[in-house]
Structure 1
Amino acid sequence: MESAEVESDILRRVRTLLRELDGHHPACQCDRGMLRWTLHKKIDQNPSNSSVLVGILVKELERAERGDFRHYIIPLLHTLMYTLIKAPCISDELCSRVYDFCKKLLTLPKPFCTIGLDYAIKVKMERTAPGTLYQRMVISEQSLKSDPYPYQEKIFIFADPELLSEAICNALVTDTEAAQVSQSPRVCMCYVIIHAMQAALAEGCDVSGLKATLQDMPTSDVEHWFQQVVAAVECAGNEENADRNQHAARLEKIYCTILRSPQAGDVPLGETHGTPLPNPNISFHLWTEDDQLWKELVLFIRPLTQSCEPDCLSQDLDNFEIQDIISDCECCEQTRFSVLSTDSGIERDLPVAAEEPLTPFNAETEQSRLQRKGGIKKKPSPLESVAFLQAGCNGPGAKPPAKPPRRPGNPPEPMAPLQRLHTARIVLLGDDRILGRLTQAYHSLRKRETRRVFLTPRLNLQFYYIPVVTEQPDTPTAMIFFNDPAQEPAEDVFLTELRTQVQESISHKDLSTTKKKTTLDGPGIDLTATYRKVVLSDRAKELVISLRSTGLVMKSIPTNEAEDLAYLNVNITEIVKINNLSGRSFSTVTNRLKTRDIKIRSTEQRPFMVCLDKDGRRVYRNVISMEVSPCLEPSYCLQKTRTMKFSLHEAEDVGLVKYMPKCLLLPINTFSGVIQ
């Protein structure tokens, strides 16, 4: 296909993608995202067209920025960066245009400025050392051993078993396992070498000859040249005044040594070959346990050895608490062992000479010593040892397990902070119910980290959400109901929605009285709502309203992108009496409130039902009153409690608590970069 036809075909595909983003494409509802996927596959089949696609995307991005079509920017920019990472070679002039556009995004609000800054840094690095982004992605996603770049990434897919059929789950598990089997570390290292050479040398790289030479090499030689290439690329990427020509000269020297040829430029110019991007390390899980997320993250930081029995893993983790084993802020210290001492500490009790034997104990002395009674012998779990945790902390960037004694008079050496060498991308498949489960799991994880810090300094968490929409029944299903006979307060967290409904469970004693009152006052129950109204001046203004209602809905996600995320949208359905000639009737009116804190109380002591995140498994019954407020960071609550003990002003934040975030932030990304 000629270049003009290729450019016209790619431009047509990009314009179709823009129509999908506008919602004018017929496939925008059921097959959303398929157009971008087919565009990626089109470039994978013919990598020489990568430069054409990058040029078209840059033009469309510049046009969108000038015309204020901001909903085009992030999806097109993600596609551009994916193409730029996989492209065999992109001209410096084209990379410069991408870099300039990313810098323009810094003047826009979030998330545009955040994504623009991240991509601007990456493009600048790619201009200096071509192939850096591809190399880092393969090393981290495949967990290849590399000292210059020791980072690791893994994708965890958590799906709701009630929304996905068994056939779909089995297909996903089969695909993820087959993708890992088909690619070996040797193949991935060869990919990194070939892509780095082609990105730096462009047409001067004989891709076919390089592939054949690497295939004939033993694995030890491939690993040696892989380390050489990684060191050369990382050296150029981390240098402040690095030059692209110097980077090409370094790789050309390695290239000539591998091929044992005098000049790399003597090879004939051939067709541009693309290097495949290996599938990332993906694990698929059905979210069936509340603490399943925490378990998988612990094993990602410190994987079990092959000698561990997988059948006992779930039972071992149920009784395992990492935070209770490790001491405060000293999670990598050596294990202490108790030793029985027979020395009284008195000088006259010491033996006369070192070779003088000690007096043996008699039977009475032996019986008078403290002895330990026999107990139940328990099989130790591989996860219950401190050595298990210490081994997981001995990677690059971790504290050494032992510290030499400090001499008097010398200042203490500052400890190197732990590096976040692991990145876990949590992908959720489900509806609002699985988002609620994520909120609970994340809040529980932060509570664990407040008591004993282990995951937070070493792990970078990223959450992604893929909505799965199915037909839901109007009434909540009967999967668990929270019903406390003692009517004690219960704490819970929700992310998207809280819905209340009048409960019809009334005792026989008050049945006749309630029927008469309901006939006069209409359906519903009498409620009193106390809330703080959100005003532009951000000043607290507390209001109290009393009304008769059939239920209410609270949503924490705004209806459009222009609204703020810092308050709740509360819609209360009020029953209004209407007196006319034909008698008394009732109508409903929706009261809309914007608040950060609200208290709801039933003045009749009649119970109502509360459902969180549209999840029938999270239903509270026999509720008389409830309070809704922003979820505070557990570490902030702990520090606040400690501060109040030493401060007379309880309402004032003093000490470290002033610099800590109050609200628990749960950043959930989408693959388009905008909250949906």
Structure 2
Amino acid sequence: MLRWTLHKRTDQNPRTSCTLVSILVKELERAERGDLRHYIIPLLHTLMYTLIQAPCIPDELCARVYDFCKRLLTLPKPFCTIGLDYASRLQLERTAPGTLFQRMVISEHSLPSAPFPFQERIFIFADPELLPEAICKALATDTEAAQVSQSRRGCMSCVVTHALQAALGDTCDTHGLRARLQVTQQLLPCFSLVLLCLDTLEKQKALPAGDVELCFQQVVAAVEGSAGGSGRGQHRARLERIYQGILGSSPAGNAPQEGLQGTPLPNPNISFHLWTEDEQLWKELVLFLRPLSQSCEPEGPGQGLEAAELPELLPGCGCCGQSRFSVLSTDSGIERDLPAPDEPCAPCAERRRLHRKGGIKKKPSPLDSVALLQAGSAVPGEKPPGKTPGRAGMPPEPAAPRRRLHTARVVLLGDDRILGRLAQAFHSLRKREARRVFLTPRLDLQFYHIPVVPSAAAVSAGAGSLGDHAGPEELCEVAGYLGRADPWYESNINTLCHIIPKLATMPSSPSRALVTDLFLPDVIAYYARMGTQPVLFQVHSVKVLFQDPAQDPAEDVFLTELLVQVQESPSHRELSTAKRKSTLDGPGMDLTVTYRRVVLSDRQKELALALRSTGLLMKAIPAEEAEGLGCLSVTVTEIIKSSHLAGRSFSAVANRFRTRIIKVRSPEQRPFTVRLDKDSRRTYRDVIGLDVSPCLEPSYCLQKTRTTKLSPQETEDVGLVKYLPKSLLLPINTFAGVIP
């Protein structure tokens, strides 16, 4: 709340930007001298967020920040990583002031820009079965209210105004610019709007929408051209000509001396989704890449979706279900021979004409796999895909990988149960991508987590058979680990765990939809913009064997924990036998546990246990940071029988060990239940055995299978397999990652 208030005050009073930056730089230098590293990253994030929004910062002050970021390169991760990222951004900002603000607004609102064609969107997912209706409704209302205040023209006007003021400084007539560009009311503070109406609204006539877009394109071209290497003087001269073209013949020096008037940073494009379908995440990402208006247009061989998947993924397009397969082509190849697009959903009709059934599928070449490997390292500035002409006798260079122009920031609201569901969806997505690459070369997928725990009554009512795990701390183990690893995440994000339910129960104001300073959208935007350091969580796979031999084994994944409990309702045939046996052997059931123990020397040592137990708990999230994220902490509750003069007694002893691979069997074929990720909806009954191991990356498994078929004698990873990631890791972004 304090950080949000600080940024809002700076936003409303831009004159304090230079003072705040100067104070933050002094605090950073003092933390560096005192070796107080845990203060560096929070101060640096606050400083950069202020620099992006500030209308004009002196170059001497930017130079001090730039030098400090360069000194961070001598420190270990994550300090050197964040320092390098911010140093490269500051170098751009010093060359062409306003570049960071401009690029952020263009990408977040998908504004048309040829020099910078990147797009971003924030997807908020909440499970309606885990959160009360009041919380979901409040989040949807705030998100919708934040989007109502944004408009295409308003965002373009903000980019133009901020770029001109960053280049011209105090000589820029901000009020005149706003009047000509007609900045919308929602994007201006109230006092600026009053001044605008009194001083310049009647003096200046607003530009048409087409002229505003033309000015926007000119400013973007000038700023991106200056960021490419031209000097700061040429940058100022270019923007001064654009400024004079907007305001007329009045020179820049005739601006009223009113000081700095900042331009508020618009909220990003945020969409709120109730996670009701298993494939909903995949569908939303596909529609982000290929909207309904473009989803049916063929993009190239092997780049589109399967014909059978299109009707399923695009339910809003009714005529997609009427696709037919043609054998004979009736297309003359002449554009004017095509029918006029007056029939409904012309792209779908075009796809029906051009789609063909059958055909020979070409076997993927090794270059395709190489392109998939290189897709993860695609960065802006690479040459576009295509063939380059080579010299005579020289083979042509392979096509460059497709640039990732889209970034999807998926924010999960809830506790560990929704993260378990995310692990399922992520594993399904990776399996789909291994079979046919579609999202990987085009989309940069980022995951974020905001813990939300409703009241204790709602937790106990919705948790089902959670039992002892119904507490907020047990339901938010991932958020607790992230808070221990990153103190800035703890103070900014983990504190929302109890704030969001309180905000949802507050009475709504009639003018809430008109309020621009919405707390939750602003905090989510700050987290998505500044949280760029991922923490990698190992996803574990589990194979469940059932009591019925006719039932196929089930395969699933989990992220946080797996719980094994003795099944309470045995069949009628086994009821009398189980009662007699339990009186003799005590409570619980016989289990055989085989596992590979994790030791410091990293040597594999396989052990086996045969014991009587009432339950078994595997936790993948360590209670302490030093334990690491790659192992399972297993707790087996063993029943010890003792005999004495008074008779027999039974006591429970907890056996704890760490492992990566474990197998559990019931030698008596007595069933037990298995629950994954604390979610009662993911419970397996009548289980007699399970195998748990780290989940492998599906692309690694597929390539390993192909290599094994070609070279059955090879046991080690050879060829492309050794360059692929072996384990499936779920990245969740924080502000600093794991601070050692």
Q: TM-score, normalised by structure 1?
A: 0.77
Instruction: Tell me which of 398, 401, 420 is aligned to 1:436.
Output: 420
Instruction: Tell me which of 121, 124, 127 is aligned to 2:94.
Output: 127
Alignment deviations for residues 445-498 of structure 1 (CA, whole Å, 9 cap, x no partner): 11111111111111110110011113333996389x998843421110111111
Question: For residues 232-243 of structure 1, what are the structure 2 equivalents within 5 Å?
Answer: 232-239=222-229, 242-243=230-231
What corresponds to 2:663 in structure 1? 599
User: Residue 591 of structure 1: CA displacement?
Assistant: 2.0
User: Residue 227 of structure 1: CA displacement?
Assistant: 1.2
User: Residue 581 of structure 1: CA displacement?
Assistant: 4.8
Output the CA distance in 2 between the equivalents of 1:143 and 1:137.
10
Amino acid at match of 1:339: L
Greater Rg by CA: 1
Alignment gaps of 5+ in structure 1: 1-33, 309-315, 323-334, 342-378, 390-395
User: Residue 289 of structure 1: CA displacement?
Assistant: 0.2
The answer to whether the 8 A contact 1:530-1:542 is kept is: yes
User: Residue 666 of structure 1: CA displacement?
Assistant: 1.3
Alignment deviations for residues 67-122 of structure 1 (CA, whole Å, 9 cap, x no partner): 55544443333322221111111222322333333334444444444333322221
Output the CA distance in 1 between the equivalents of 2:463 and 2:132.
20
Q: How many residues align?
A: 576
What corresponds to 1:24 in structure 2? none
Question: For residues 235-634 of structure 1, what are the structure 2 equivalents within 5 Å?
Answer: 235-239=225-229, 242-261=230-249, 263-305=251-293, 320=312, 338-339=327-328, 382=348, 385=351, 411-412=395-396, 414-470=398-454, 471=456, 472-473=459-460, 477=464, 485=548, 486-634=550-698
User: Residue 301 of structure 1: CA displacement?
Assistant: 0.5
Output the CA distance in 2 between the equivalents of 1:650 and 1:632.
19
Output the CA distance in 1 between the equivalents of 2:73 and 2:354.
44
User: Residue 258 of structure 1: CA displacement?
Assistant: 2.6
Output the CA distance in 2 between the equivalents of 1:184 and 1:482.
55
Output the CA distance in 1 between the equivalents of 2:641 and 2:593.
20
User: Residue 650 of structure 1: CA displacement?
Assistant: 4.2
What corresponds to 2:181 in structure 1? 214
Question: For residues 658-669 of structure 1, what are the structure 2 equivalents within 5 Å?
Answer: 658-669=722-733
The answer to whether the 8 A contact 2:592-2:665 is kept is: yes
Instruction: Tell me which of 12, 15, 21 is aligned to 1:45.
Output: 12
The answer to whether the 8 A contact 2:545-2:688 is kept is: no
Output the CA distance in 2 between the equivalents of 1:275 and 1:546.
69
- Relative to 1, partners in 2 of residues 1:129 and 1:307: Cα closer, same or farther, differing over 3 Å? closer
Output the CA distance in 1 between the equivalents of 2:641 and 2:421.
40
User: Residue 553 of structure 1: CA displacement?
Assistant: 1.7
- Relative to 1, partners in 2 of residues 1:476 and 1:225: Cα closer, same or farther, differing over 3 Å? closer
User: Residue 648 of structure 1: CA displacement?
Assistant: 3.5
Amino acid at match of 1:213: R
Amino acid at match of 2:293: T
- Relative to 1, partners in 2 of residues 1:651 and 1:468: Cα closer, same or farther, differing over 3 Å? same
Output the CA distance in 1 between the equivalents of 2:689 and 2:95.
62
User: Residue 267 of structure 1: CA displacement?
Assistant: 3.1
Output the CA distance in 2 between the equivalents of 1:516 and 1:448.
50
Amino acid at match of 1:278: P
What corresponds to 2:216 in structure 1? 226
Alignment gaps of 5+ in structure 2: 183-205, 297-307, 315-323, 331-344, 356-381, 467-543
The answer to whether the 8 A contact 1:552-1:573 is kept is: yes
What corresponds to 1:366 in structure 2? none
User: Residue 639 of structure 1: CA displacement?
Assistant: 0.3
Amino acid at match of 1:539: R
Alignment deviations for residues 506-555 of structure 1 (CA, whole Å, 9 cap, x no partner): 23333333333322332222222222222222222222222222212212
The answer to whether residue 132 in structure 2 is matched with residue 165 in structure 1 is yes
Alignment deviations for residues 344-388 of structure 1 (CA, whole Å, 9 cap, x no partner): xxxxxxxxxxxxxxxxxxxxxxxxxxxxxxxxxxx9994994899
The answer to whether the 8 A contact 2:78-2:736 is kept is: no
Other structure's SS at 1:130 match? coil
What corresponds to 1:348 in structure 2? none
- Relative to 1, partners in 2 of residues 1:284 and 1:652: Cα closer, same or farther, differing over 3 Å? same
- Relative to 1, partners in 2 of residues 1:248 and 1:673: Cα closer, same or farther, differing over 3 Å? farther
User: Residue 305 of structure 1: CA displacement?
Assistant: 2.5
Output the CA distance in 2 between the equivalents of 1:95 and 1:529.
60
Q: TM-score, normalised by structure 2?
A: 0.71
Identity among equivalent positions (%) equals: 68
Output the CA distance in 1 between the equivalents of 2:554 and 2:90.
50
Output the CA distance in 2 between the equivalents of 1:415 and 1:286.
40
What corresponds to 1:81 in structure 2? 48
Q: Which has the higher contact order (CA 8 A, sep 6+)?
A: 2
User: Residue 443 of structure 1: CA displacement?
Assistant: 0.9
Amino acid at match of 1:114: T
Other structure's SS at 1:450 match? helix
Amino acid at match of 2:211: D
Output the CA distance in 2 between the equivalents of 1:48 and 1:564.
46
Alignment deviations for residues 28-86 of structure 1 (CA, whole Å, 9 cap, x no partner): xxxxxx22222222222212112222233333344445555544443333322221111
